[in-house]
Structure 1
């Protein structure tokens, strides 16, 4: 199953993804995202300075305003 990186504060989304059988990795630092197939972030740490240094080629999902189920659906869509 796919490996999904999820920000630490999104515990409900971590749990929902685990229940669907995904391997969930907490994103504590940038290097945690390197081997993930998809990453889920809060969007709170938006790119204020306009710099775009990518640490992963994985799809990134902004979970801001989405339910755990909606995030799971987006993850499934990105991985297809």
Structure 2
């Protein structure tokens, strides 16, 4: 079975900004990893934001931020 990323979701993730809190307005890729870990421990929000934060933690854990930054550069919103 071959896994293929959903390009639209990656582009959305690359351009999504934190909607509230201390880091309001920052791209999710710019959030500190410790903040994402805190969300994981406390429970990610329901819905799209929770999914995006969970995905960003996975990306940061695997040191793939350059992938998201490349998407921001080559696929501007």
TM-score (norm 1): 0.31
Which has more strand, going by share of residues?
A: 1
The structure carrying a bigger helix percent of its residues is 2
Under a length normalisation based on structure 2, what TM-score does the superposition of the two structures give? 0.32
